[in-house]
A and B are shown apart, each in its own frame.
Chain A
Amino acid sequence: AQTIHQWPVAEIKAVGSPLSLGCTIKGKSSPNLYWYWQATGGTLQQLFYSITVGQVESVVQLNLSASRPKDDQFILSTEKLLLSHSGFYLCAWRQGGTEVFFGKGTRLTVV
């Protein structure tokens, strides 16, 4: 069974519209969670991390926000999308100082 699930797989959204991307981790207790973003042809950049429910730290500001409403859920959102938000979004998890595991990602196109 897949441990990490991201949704949706792909989105096409209009500039100025809201966005919500989700990530669920199954079978792991209190994992560290991460959001990443990659522009087309660009480097993977870490956006946020969370080590516990209700606490999220920002690493890079891109007019996005993140929340961790449950131990196993990480949400990335914005109220108004920009063209520059287009790209590939990845969620990841790990426990302790060990290997990091990634979801399959969400491809976002802002038009």
Chain B
Amino acid sequence: GQQVQQSPASLVLQEGENAELQCNFSTSLNSMQWFYQRPGGSLVSLFYNPSGTKQSGRLTSTTVIKERRSSLHISSSQTTDSGTYLCAITNAYKVIFGKGTHLHVLP
């Protein structure tokens, strides 16, 4: 089965609403990262967060290793937040991605 599962698969918001993206993993890891994938394909690293909570501007990431989950919270969404958000877990030699959450923020 899939080792990294993201939910929801897609999300449509009105500008100003908050978003909660989830990542659940079924295997052990030594780190967790969240990325934003640009329409052209390149990745922007949002958080490297193996455990605990980290915040950057309107984005907050929380990883709870014991429960094998991580979340990405986007507050006061903007149209420029639209795109694909990916979570990835890493162990010694692999970086395993989820299928992503496709976020669309309406003006």
Contact = CB atoms under 8 A, between A and B. Distances in A.
Contact count band on B: 20 to 34
Interface in B1-57: 30-31, 33, 35, 40-43, 45, 48
Contact of A44 (B31, B40, B86, B92): B86
B45 A101 contact: yes
A3 to B, nearest CB: 12
A100 interface: yes
A92 interface: yes
B99 A43 contact: yes
A74 interface: no
Main secondary structure of the interface of A (DSSP, over half): strand
Contacts of B48: 98-99
A100 B48 CA distance: 8
Contact of B31 (A34, A51, A88, A97): A97
Interface in B64-107: 86, 88, 90, 92-100
Interface of B: 30-31, 33, 35, 40-43, 45, 48, 86, 88, 90, 92-100
Interface of A: 32, 34, 36, 38, 43-46, 49, 51, 57, 59, 88, 90, 92, 94, 97-102, 104-105, 107
